[in-house]
Amino acid sequence: GVQTCALPILNKLNYNEEVIKGGLIISGVSILMTMIIYIINIELMVEWWFSLISLLLSIGLVIFIGVSFRNASSGFMSYKEALKFTFLVLLIAYVVGAFFNIMLYNVIDPSLPEVIKELTVEKTIAMMESFGTPQEAIDNALPEIEESIIKNTTPTGIIKSTPMGVLFMFLLALIASIFVKKNIPVSDRAN
């Protein structure tokens, strides 16, 4: 019955291909979203909600891709298997995204880091002022903010941020795996 149907499908699924495909889908959507915002209005790139939407979209996509893979294979996946799959998918998306960022900031539009720096500084000053931060504290914080933005847009800076990025992808995978896993039902009958 069911088992004979599931086996040929399982054999047709290539785990590595599915992981790579998933990573490319997530990075592709992220890159497309970034380029649309870039074309429409660069100022939106420094909005907190843009980062939040990107994050939620990535989590939603990795859950969808993970559940689709689970259902196309055996229909079941332990938390450990789900974690491995979602982490690898997110890792590929991260690597492709980092490569895209290097290209965006250094080849496509080398003036973009400066624009983002100015926009971020404006937003930061406005936010600090709204919290009643003294002008001296604002003045002291600005050079560090400017330096970190410029650092995070250079190829070296993007590569140096990889360990934190990979850790963040792992945390996302920990969350996504909760929704992807589906344990094989255990009979309550003693055998």
Q: How far apart are CA 26 and CA 63, in angstroms?
A: 11
Q: How far apart are CA 88 and CA 115, in angstroms?
A: 33
Residue 6: is its pLDDT beyond 80? no
Residue 4: is its pLDDT beyond 60? no
Q: How far apart are CA 45 and CA 53, in angstroms?
A: 11
pLDDT digits (tens, 9 = 90+) for 29-44: 999 999 999 999 999 9
Among 35, 40, 43, CA closest to 117: 43
Among 86, 106, 72, 90, CA closest to 23: 90
List the single range of 4-8, 54-58, 133-137, 171-175 with lowest mean pLDDT.
Answer: 4-8
- At 77, give phi and psi (nearest 5°): -160, 130
Residue 45: is its pLDDT beyond 70? yes
Q: How far apart are CA 151 and CA 143, in angstroms?
A: 12
pLDDT, position 165: 93
List the single range of 21-30, 137-146, 163-172 with lowest mean pLDDT.
Answer: 137-146
Q: How far apart are CA 56 and CA 20, in angstroms?
A: 20
100 residue type, one letter: F
Higher confidence at residue 187 or residue 171? 171
pLDDT, position 190: 58
Q: How far apart are CA 145 and CA 185, in angstroms?
A: 52
> pTM for the full model?
0.85
What does DSSP assign to residue 133? -
Compute the average pLDDT of residues 178-190: 84
Residue 130: is its pLDDT beyond 50? yes
Coil/strand/helix, residue 161 = coil
160 Cβ contact list (under 8 Å, min separation 6):
151
Question: What does the mean pLDDT of the chain come to?
Answer: 89
